[in-house]
Amino acid sequence: MEVTKVDKGSKAVRQAASRRDFLALSTAALLGGRTTLPSMAGVRAEQMKDETPRRDLAADPQRPRYHLMPPANWMNDPNGPIFWKGQYHMFYQHNPNGAFPENMHWGHAVSPDLVHWKHLPIALAPTPGGPDKDGCWSGCAVDDRGVPTIVYTGVFPQVQCIARSDDGMMTWRKHPGNPVIAAPPQGMETTGFRDPCVWREAGEWFLAIGSGIKGQGGMVLLYRSKDLIHWDYLHLLCKGRKDELLSGKDSVSTGEMWECPDFFPLADKHALIVSTQGAVIYSVGAYANRYFRPGAQGRADLGGCYYAARSVADEKGRRILWGWIREGRSDAAQRAAGWAGVMSLPRVLTLGHNGALGMAPAPEIEALRGKHQRFESLPIVPGSFSLLKSVRGDSLEIQAEFQPGACEAAGLTVRSAPDGKEQTSITYSRTSGQLLVERERSSLSLDVDRTSQGGPFTLAEDETLKLRVFLDASVIEIFANDRACLTSRVYPSRSGSLGLGLFARGDKALLKALDVWEMRPISPDRLTT
């Protein structure tokens, strides 16, 4: 069994240990008279056992109000988003037994509008003795001539399985012949073999799967099938080189294992998104003769809190992407909170400038806008600490346009205490060509990650800085000029850390316009039911 090594901290270690722990936990669960572990499929979300009372979850100030998340407990990767009969279905890696990454199930939610979500019964649970006995890991969902079909990874060892639904996705039956792919191609010593992405092309099914070779690099293997059951390995769809860095000024390595490949057409090109156990990187390039040749590359998100992104095409022909927003606090804090992990807002992908990936929040989110305030033409003088008196909140959409002039850096201060002792800066550094979230003072609590996050971002000579920022309790999602995203987490300890301010460093800057909306919650109880 391989051990995923970086990035997920305790999650990686837990996955490596999960077979052993699963057995121990099962015994403990039986001794304790609990029957929740072996199978949760078909159990309604509200019947699930968890330790934290719902009223505590619903009142938790760190728990978002307008992002999708499970009713309680752990989530990681988005799985199998599918547009089906006019609705968006989203699945996700989920542990219904606690806020820690073990014993993965597929949670399930549905939305008519990409914004308001309803929890549905858990779709997949490990089957004792089956090829997914130690977890139903990530994968995709496709429409097989009218039958919704999930293609996912069972562990351990990592094998590929399918499950189908005959009742509009309320229940799922696993294929009796699972696994449908029992091992990586012969002779390949892979670092992993998981997270299938399936599409239909020229009357056949194709499956891209995340993998890599130690000492060489990450790779995506390509398979072909007529029926989703019998698969032939073709070749590598694409491969990276260990220690290879992304193009441009980025210093992110493409790693040795590519998780969660997402491969899809985008305008007249194709895009491949992979998660490298460190970052989510994309390539927009050419797909011909069943090989993908990468072109423009970049990070789908410049923060360290966004991972395992997956997309779907909807009826409007848009390509919509979600990622898992990880926590930035200790395992103990996550368990105590009774929930961990959040789904990002949906992003609409386009072919951007210079062949790069364009990313913007789905316009549907604007339906949540409430009270609005607008400010125009405010000069920002370096050195002064000023908060906008009339604006406060941790559930806001902020749109700001800056003329950076000759400043070294400029941006917004969010989640600020009145005395500034807690505050987070969203910073465009003109001198270093970076977009950053500076979190050193984001919380007085020592238990949370307060390191800065960010990456390369530059403006053209005549370009203004256009930020769209979504604050939702501990979540911050930033879109800059429709081409860079940065997702982060902050956990201010004071209830009054709700201020919004502006700053410039080195020289003055100009705020051309600022719009702020209070965002309405998507449920009365922070999606706990």
Shortest Cβ distance from residue 158 to ligand FRU (Å)? 8
Q: Binding to ligand FRU by residue 76, rule CB under 6 A? A: yes
Q: Which of 322, 372, 325, 370 is nearest to 349 (CA)?
A: 322
| Paired tokens of 465 | 């800085």
Q: Which of 102, 256, 259, 327 binds ligand FRU (CB under 6 A)?
A: 259
Shortest Cβ distance from residue 257 to ligand FRU (Å)? 8
394 is catalytic: no
Q: Binding to ligand FRU by residue 195, rule CB under 6 A? A: yes
353 three-class SS: helix
First to last CA, the chain: 36
CA dihedral 35, 36, 39, 45 (to 10 degrees): 140
Shortest Cβ distance from residue 475 to ligand FRU (Å)? 18
Shortest Cβ distance from residue 356 to ligand FRU (Å)? 24
Q: Binding to ligand FRU by residue 327, rule CB under 6 A? A: no
User: One symbol per residue from 122 to 141: x for binding ligand FRU (CB under 6 A), - otherwise; what is it?
Assistant: ---------------xx---
Q: Binding to ligand FRU by residue 503, rule CB under 6 A? A: no
E strand intervals along 473-508: 475-480, 484-489, 499-505
Pairing label, strands 173-174, 190-201: unpaired
Q: Binding to ligand FRU by residue 73, rule CB under 6 A? A: no
Q: Is 385 exposed, middle or buried (0-12, 13-18, 19+ CB in 10 A)?
A: exposed
Q: Smaller CB distance to ligand FRU: residue 9 or 405?
A: 9
Rounded to whole angstroms, what are the CA distances from 5 to 209, 313, 346, 441? Answer: 19, 32, 28, 29
Q: Which of 267, 301, 304, 300 is nearest to 283 (CA)?
A: 300
Q: Which of 52, 93, 178, 276 binds ligand FRU (CB under 6 A)?
A: 93
| Paired tokens of 166 | 């005959």
Shortest Cβ distance from residue 175 to ligand FRU (Å)? 19
Shortest Cβ distance from residue 178 to ligand FRU (Å)? 16
User: Which amino acid is located at 434 in the chain?
Assistant: Q
Q: Smaller CB distance to ligand FRU: residue 93 or 481?
A: 93
Question: With contact defined as beta carbons under 8 Å apart, do 430 and 407 qualify?
Answer: yes
Q: Which of 308, 362, 400, 484 binds ligand FRU (CB under 6 A)?
A: 308
Residue 42: count of CB within 10 angstroms of its CB: 12
CA distance linking residue 403 with residue 377, whole number of Å: 10
Instruction: Point out the catalytic residue in the list 50, 60, 77, 331.
Output: 77
Q: Smaller CB distance to ligand FRU: residue 76 or 497?
A: 76
Q: Smaller CB distance to ligand FRU: residue 81 or 404?
A: 81
Q: Which of 65, 67, 194, 299 binds ligand FRU (CB under 6 A)?
A: 194
135 three-class SS: coil
Q: Which of 307, 402, 428, 479 binds ligand FRU (CB under 6 A)?
A: 307
Q: Which of 68, 246, 260, 498 binds ligand FRU (CB under 6 A)?
A: 260
Q: Tokens 């990035």 identify what position?
A: 7
Prior bond of 156 cis (ω within 30°):
yes
Q: Which of 153, 283, 334, 528 binds ligand FRU (CB under 6 A)?
A: 153
Report, as residue numbers or ranges, the catalytic residues: 77
Which residues contact ligand FRU by CB under 6 A?
4, 76-77, 93, 104, 137-138, 153, 194-195, 259-260, 307-308
